[in-house]
Amino acid sequence: MDFFSDTTMIYITLAAVFGIFMAWGIGANDVANAMATSVGSKAITIKQAVILAAIFEFAGAYLAGGEVTKTIRKGIVSMDALNGNVDLLIWGMLASLLAAGTWLLIASLKGWPVSTTHSIVGAVIGFAAVGVSADAVNWAKVGSIVLSWIVSPLIAGTIAFAVFSSIQKLVINTTDPLKNAIRYGPIYLFMVGFIIALVTIKKGLKHVGINIEGGMEFVYAAMLGGLIAFIGIMLIRRIQFDEQTEKRFHFANVEKIFAVLMIFTASAMAFAHGSNDVANAVGPMAAVISAAQSGELASQSALPGWVLLLGGVGIVIGLATLGYKVIATVGEKITELTPSRGFSAEIGAATTVVLASYTGIPVSTTQILVGAILGVGLARGIAAIDLRVVGNIFMSWVITLPAGAILSIMFFYLLKGIFS
pLDDT at residue 277 greater than cutoff 50: yes
pTM as predicted: 0.77
The percent of residues in the chain predicted with pLDDT above 90, rounded, is 10
Q: Average of pLDDT values for 185-214?
A: 73
Q: Average of pLDDT values for 259-276?
A: 78
pLDDT at residue 176 greater than cutoff 60: yes
pLDDT at residue 85 greater than cutoff 50: yes
- Beta-carbon-side half-sphere exposure of residue 344 (alpha carbons within 13 Å): 28
Q: Give 242's pLDDT tier (boundaries 50, 70, 90).
A: confident
Q: Give 333's pLDDT tier (boundaries 50, 70, 90).
A: low
pLDDT for residue 63: 67
Helices 32-40 and 46-64: crossing angle, nearest 10°? 140
Q: How far is CA 333 from the centre of its chain?
A: 20
* Alpha carbon distance 2, 12 (integer Å): 15
Q: Average of pLDDT values for 399-410?
A: 90
* DSSP letter assigned to residue 137: B
Top pLDDT among 112 and 208 is at 112
Each as own residue / partner, the long-range contacts of residues 242-248 (CB below 8 Å, 24 or more positions apart, any chain) are 246/178
pLDDT at residue 297 greater than cutoff 70: no
pLDDT for residue 299: 45
Closest CA to 164 of 37, 278, 54, 47: 37
Q: Average of pLDDT values for 367-392?
A: 76
pLDDT at residue 320 greater than cutoff 90: no
96 burial level (CB within 10 Å; 0-12, 13-18, 19+): buried
pLDDT in tens, 112-128: 777 787 888 889 888 88
Helices 252-277 and 339-359: crossing angle, nearest 10°? 20
pLDDT at residue 302 greater than cutoff 60: no
Instruction: Judge contact between 82 and 4, C-beta under 8 A.
Output: no
pLDDT at residue 328 greater than cutoff 80: no
216 burial level (CB within 10 Å; 0-12, 13-18, 19+): exposed
pLDDT for residue 298: 53
pLDDT at residue 261 greater than cutoff 70: yes
pLDDT in tens, 7-26: 888 998 999 899 899 989 88
Q: Give 102's pLDDT tier (boundaries 50, 70, 90).
A: very high
* Alpha carbon distance 68, 417 (integer Å): 31
pLDDT for residue 1: 44
What sign does the dihedral 379-384-389-391 (CA atoms) show? positive
Closest CA to 94 of 415, 417, 358: 415
Neighbours of 112 (CB within 10 A): 22
Q: Dump the DSSP string for 323-377.
A: HHHHHHIIIIISS---HHHHHHHHHHHHHHHHHHHHHT----HHHHHHHHHHHHH
pLDDT at residue 91 greater than cutoff 60: yes
Strand partners, 77: 137
Coil, strand or helix: which one is 115? Answer: coil
Q: Give 329's pLDDT tier (boundaries 50, 70, 90).
A: low
Q: What is the Cα Rg of the chain in Å? A: 22
Where exactly are the structural domains of the chain? 2-419
Residue 391's alpha-carbon distances to 112, 185, 385, in angstroms, are 12, 34, 11
User: Average pLDDT of the chain?
Assistant: 78
